[in-house]
Amino acid sequence: MKVLNKLTTTKKKLYALGRLIIWSLSYLRWGGKQYAEFYRMRQDKKALEDPKKAVGGLWEEMGRIQLDFLVSRGLKPEHVLLDVGCGSLRGGLRFIEYLHPGNYWGIDISPNILESGRKFVAEKGLESKNPHLLVNNDLKFDELARSTFDYILAQSVFTHMPEEDIDECFQNLHKILKPSGVFFATFSEGPKKMYHKVVTRFSYPASLFYQLGEEYGYQVEIDDGFAHPRGLKMLAIRYK
């Protein structure tokens, strides 16, 4: 028994050491900046180069997929939608056109990518739909001024986010999700947490999200009706 306990303790220490090494390498890879600051700078730069590629390309396909999916899950023009990590409005333009004026809210960490989105709104003649486009620095949702939402979407957000930021999202979700609301979020499923090239790609097991749901009082399920061209899974998160 003592030998087993020692082995378990050793494994835990090795795991902790591994995480420390990964984040130390990440810190160096991100130029000595905190991840959010690094990612903002990265997206700002990519938005200036090509605002459609900056959000992953597949502009028309993914825009259509996002709208069709939420409509199939009950989204109506009178509902209020928050698009977390809205980017240059790949899906946002379709949501803005579909929803009643003022019912689309988009937040993103990159000012440049949001400015690109505003230009696309103008090009499409959608200014009269009065979309709310805001820069966010974290996922405490303080910039939303006590607004609440029927639907919240985070498309390709958790795939670029460390675990502690996902935890922050779950911790603060109650501030903005209506009692009857639903939060849909995609993630890249992996058997364990992986840091692709120690840069900006993150994969997580579904169990992480189930655990966060238990901790913060949400029912978390995988919605098998979502078909992503790159294989991302869709979480459906509701109050218990």
Q: Is 28's pLDDT higher than 50?
A: no
As a whole-number percent, the residues of the chain with pLDDT over 70 amount to 81
Rounded to 5 degrees, φ, ψ at 238 are -135, 160
Query: What pLDDT is stored for residue 236 in this prediction?
Result: 98
DSSP3 helix / strand / coil % (the chain, rounded to 5): 45, 20, 30
Name the residue with higher pLDDT: 198 or 96.
Answer: 96
Query: What pLDDT is stored for residue 30 in this prediction?
Result: 46
As a whole-number percent, the residues of the chain with pLDDT over 90 amount to 61
Question: For the CA atoms of the chain, what is the radius of gyration?
Answer: 19
Residue 41: pLDDT band (50, 70, 90) is confident
Residue 200: pLDDT band (50, 70, 90) is low
Top CATH class, 33-239: alpha beta
Can you tell me the mean pLDDT for 77-86?
97
Domain ranges of the chain: 1-32, 33-239
> Is 240 in a helix, a strand, or coil?
coil
Can you tell me the mean pLDDT for 151-180?
94
DSSP 83: E
Averaged pLDDT of the chain: 86
CA distance linking residue 199 with residue 160, whole number of Å: 9
Query: What pLDDT is stored for residue 63 in this prediction?
Result: 86
**Residue 121 bridge partners (DSSP):** none
Quote the pTM value: 0.82
Q: How many Cβ atoms are within 10 Å of 157's Cβ, its own excluded? A: 22
Name the residue with higher pLDDT: 204 or 10.
Answer: 204
